[in-house]
């Protein structure tokens, strides 16, 4: 059948790590969420139904045999008191996304729904740069959903977080890391001096650390 790749599958829970290091999420969530093109009010609906959520670059026990480096996994753990009809509405919204390719469940103490999406063209390139830790190379022109479709350089999606008043937000850092701004380079150079590194400067390096597999892979084994 044509739609075989979209059939749900259940797998047994192994070790699921919902990283909360970056404002209750992981790096993949904050850097890549806008690229999925969800409606703006979808985030509020997720907060109503879901207790934990993250995006992951892969799952060591992913049952989808055709998983590629262009794909990303959205993992959701529902609130115990959330209504089944609300969960079903959320699932229907996610599976109707034009990037959706596959859904599966991780069965264990808690049921975790996993939705796989695939990036193409310039979005795949942005994702590749992210996975490689080449954050400043992510600033590519792409289309995003901001209540309407518009074309922007990817870093500009986070521009509303760029001001000093929002310095405590991780999205603030993302803007300055992707844009490789003078402000972030100054902070980075000060940090390099603090740890005794003088061989390199911010001009030589990316301004955020590489991905930690423990945080960015859904079920990562040592």
Q: Across the chain, where does the E strand assignment appear?
A: 9-12, 50-56, 71-78, 100-107, 112-118, 141-145, 149-153
Q: Are residues 166 and 92 in the same domain?
A: no
pLDDT of 152 over the 50 cut = yes
117-142 average pLDDT score: 96
Which among 54, 89, 119 is the end of a domain?
A: 119
Q: Are residues 20 and 107 in the same domain?
A: yes
Nearest Cα neighbor of 76 from 41, 34, 33 is: 33
Half-sphere exposure of 8 (CA within 13 A, CB side): 12
| pLDDT attached to residue 138 | 97
- The residues, ordered by sequence, that sit 6+ positions from 149 with a Cβ below 8 Å of its Cβ are 143
Beta-bridged to residue 102, according to DSSP, are: 116
| pLDDT attached to residue 120 | 95
The percentage of the chain sitting over the pLDDT mark of 70, rounded to a whole number, equals 91
Q: Are residues 161 and 108 in the same domain?
A: no
| pLDDT attached to residue 15 | 62
| pLDDT attached to residue 221 | 72
Q: Are residues 61 and 162 in the same domain?
A: no
| pLDDT attached to residue 148 | 55
pLDDT digits (tens, 9 = 90+) for 15-69: 677 877 787 899 999 999 999 988 877 878 888 899 999 999 999 999 999 999 9
pLDDT digits (tens, 9 = 90+) for 98-122: 999 999 999 877 789 999 999 999 9
Would 54 be classed as within a structural domain? Answer: yes
Would 189 be classed as within a structural domain? Answer: yes
Q: Which domain holds residue 200?
A: 125-207
Q: Are residues 199 and 115 in the same domain?
A: no
| Cα 111 → chain centroid | 20
| pLDDT attached to residue 208 | 94
Q: Are residues 93 and 157 in the same domain?
A: no
């Amino acid at each position: 059948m044509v739609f075989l790749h979209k059939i749900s599958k259940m797998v047994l829970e192994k070790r699921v790590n919902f990283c909360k290091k970056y404002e209750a999420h992981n790096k993949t969530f904050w850097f890549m969420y806008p690229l999925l093109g969800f409606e703006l009010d979808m985030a509020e609906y997720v907060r109503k139904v879901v207790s934990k959520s993250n995006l992951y670059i892969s799952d060591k026990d992913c049952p989808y045999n055709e998983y590629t480096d262009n794909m990303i996994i959205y993992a959701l753990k529902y609130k115990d008191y959330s209504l089944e009809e609300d969960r079903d509405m959320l699932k229907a919204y996610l599976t109707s996304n034009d990037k959706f390719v596959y859904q599966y469940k991780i069965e264990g103490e808690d049921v975790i729904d996993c939705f796989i999406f695939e990036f193409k063209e310039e979005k795949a390139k942005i994702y590749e740069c992210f996975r490689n830790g080449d954050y400043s190379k992510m600033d590519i022109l792409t289309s995003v959903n901001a209540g309407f479709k518009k074309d922007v350089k990817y870093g500009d999606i986070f521009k509303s977080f760029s001001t000093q008043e929002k310095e405590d937000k991780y999205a603030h850092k993302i803007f300055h890391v992707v844009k490789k701004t003078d402000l972030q380079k100054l902070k980075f150079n000060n940090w390099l001096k603090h740890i005794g590194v003088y061989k390199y400067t911010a001009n030589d390096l990316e301004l955020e650390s590489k991905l930690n597999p423990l945080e960015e892979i859904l079920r990562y084994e040592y």
